[in-house]
Amino acid sequence: MSHEALLLGIDAGGTSTRAVLTDLRGQCLGYGVGGRGNPISAGPDRAAEGVLDAVSAALTPSGTRLADVSVIVPAMAGMRASGGVGWLQDRLVARGFDGELRFESDLLATYFSGAASPFGYALVSGTGACVIRVQDGGIEGTGDGLGWLVGDRGSGYWIGHAIARAAVQDLDGTGPSTALTDRMLAHYGLTRTGVRHEGRPDELERLVGMLYTHPPIELAALAPLAFGEPDPVAHRILVTAGEHLAETLTAVLSGPGPLVLGGSVLSRPGPVRDAFLAGLGELASGLDMRPVGDGAVGAAVLALRAAGGRPDDDTLSRLTATVAAFR
- pLDDT recorded at residue 267: 83
DSSP secondary structure of 207-256: HHHHHTTS-GGGGGGGGGGGGSS--HHHHHHHHHHHHHHHHHHHHH--S-
Q: How far apart are CA 26 and CA 320, in angstroms?
A: 9
Same domain (yes/no): 131, 217: yes
Split at pLDDT 50, 70, 90, the class of 4 is confident
Q: How far apart are CA 266 and CA 249, in angstroms?
A: 13
Q: What is the total residue count of the chain?
A: 327
* Residues sharing a CB contact under 8 Å with residue 322, sequence separation 6 or more, in sequence order: 26, 27, 28
- pLDDT recorded at residue 1: 43
Q: How far apart are CA 198 and CA 161, in angstroms?
A: 26
Domain-embedded: residue 264: yes
Q: Is the dihedral of CA 284, 288, 293, 297 positive or negative?
A: negative
Backbone angles phi, psi at 241, to 5 degrees: -60, -45
Give yes or no for residue 265 having a pLDDT over 50: yes
Same domain (yes/no): 276, 310: no
> For residue 15, what is the DSSP state?
S
Domain-embedded: residue 113: no
Domain-embedded: residue 28: yes
C-alpha count within 13 angstroms, C-beta hemisphere, residue 190 = 22
Same domain (yes/no): 131, 265: yes
Same domain (yes/no): 252, 154: yes
- pLDDT recorded at residue 80: 64
Please report, for the domain that includes residue 85, its CATH number.
3.30.420.40
Same domain (yes/no): 18, 139: no
Domain-embedded: residue 111: no
Same domain (yes/no): 130, 173: yes
Tell me which of 4 and 113 has the higher pLDDT: 113
- pLDDT recorded at residue 34: 96
Which tens digits make up the pLDDT trace of 217-257?
Answer: 899 999 999 998 999 999 999 999 999 999 999 999 999 99
Which tens digits make up the pLDDT trace of 27-85?
Answer: 999 999 999 888 877 788 899 999 999 999 999 999 999 999 999 999 998 766 556 78
Domain count, the chain: 2
Same domain (yes/no): 148, 167: yes
Same domain (yes/no): 52, 135: no
Same domain (yes/no): 169, 299: no
Domain-embedded: residue 107: no
Give yes or no for residue 295 having a pLDDT over 50: yes
Task: Please give, one letter per residue, the 3-state secondary structure of 81-139.
Answer: HCCCCHHHHHHHHHCCCCCEECCEEHHHHHHHHHCCCCCEEEEEECCCEEEEEEECCEE
Q: How far is CA 287 from CA 131, 254, 258, 295, in A?
A: 14, 11, 6, 20
Query: pLDDT averaged over the chain?
Result: 94
Q: How many CB atoms lie within 10 A of CB 127?
A: 23
- pLDDT recorded at residue 22: 97
- pLDDT recorded at residue 3: 65
In terms of Cα–Cα distance, which of 173, 152, 273 is closest to 216?
Answer: 152
The range of the structural domain enclosing residue 212 comes to 119-292
Q: How far apart are CA 20 and CA 44, in angstroms?
A: 21
**Burial class of residue 252 (count of CB atoms within 10 Å of its CB; 0-12, 13-18, 19+):** middle
Domain-embedded: residue 1: no
Domain-embedded: residue 236: yes
Same domain (yes/no): 249, 166: yes
- pLDDT recorded at residue 196: 92
Domain-embedded: residue 200: yes
Which tens digits make up the pLDDT trace of 171-219?
Answer: 999 999 999 999 999 999 999 988 998 889 999 999 999 999 999 989 9
Same domain (yes/no): 71, 127: no
Backbone angles phi, psi at 253, to 5 degrees: -65, 135
Which tens digits make up the pLDDT trace of 108-123?
Answer: 999 999 999 999 999 9
Same domain (yes/no): 149, 278: yes
What pTM did the predictor assign? 0.91
